[in-house]
A = this chain, B = another copy of it.
Amino acid sequence: MARQHKSDERWLPMPLTRDQVIETAFGILRDFGLADLSMRRLARDLDVQPGALYWHVKNKQELLGVLSVMILAPATPGPADEVRATDAFMNLRLQARAIRQALLKVRDGAEVVALTHSLDPGSLSALRQPAHEFASAGLPEQQADWAARALVHYILGTVSDEQTRNGLTEAGVLEASLDGADEEAAFDFGLGLLLAGAATSPTPGSQ
């Protein structure tokens, strides 16, 4: 947790690096959640004063932005796998599931990513993919964009809720209601609705 173990009496005070700041922050978030990730707590774990962090990082929001990219990394396609499969809708299904799985690995992952996404949509490439995929599926640009926004909101909203319940359940505030399998089935069902809607009726009337 700390930069140096206290067992040694004297030690070369290697300067703090930005990477250490980020990795330690990621660890706190992953294991304890967003409520525990304060700049002061982070400084304590690194054995520095809070002000020292601001040499390595602009502010807390920038830090959360970096963490958001790390959270989504497992669901971010590299430049290698451009257009992986034949069916665009199948790709969308797989992408949505991959994003959900990535978010679930980190406590409050969905909330952190939702925050970053709302402050700067477009900064998270994993969340930009669905728009391309809807376009490949044949939707006109604006509709593809709207469909992608709906899908991303659905993913972030659903997982955020799931993680909040998990947090409360394990804090003893709530008793467990749905287990993991049910949560996944519910997610897949809602996902199916959105994709089925996008597959039929390319231009639904406004009324």
A residues at B contact (CB < 8 Å): 114, 117-119, 121, 143, 145-147, 149-150, 153-154, 156-158, 160-161, 164-165, 168, 185-186, 188-190, 192-198, 200-201, 204, 206
Do B158 and A190 touch across chains, with their CB atoms under 8 A apart?
no
Copies in the complex: 2
Contact sample, A vs B, 5 pairs, CB 8 Å cutoff: A145-B186, A149-B186, A153-B154, A153-B158, A189-B204
Most buried by B among A154, A190, A193: A193
Nearest-Cβ distance from residue A89 to partner chain B, whole angstroms: 11
- The 8 Å CB contact of A147, one of B117, B165, B193, is B193
Residues of B within 8 A of A158 (CB): 149-150, 153
- Which of the listed residues A147, A156, A157, A204 has the most CB atoms from chain B within 10 Å of its own CB? A157
Closest to A206 in B: B188
Asked whether B193 lies within 8 Å of A118 as measured between CB atoms, the reply is no
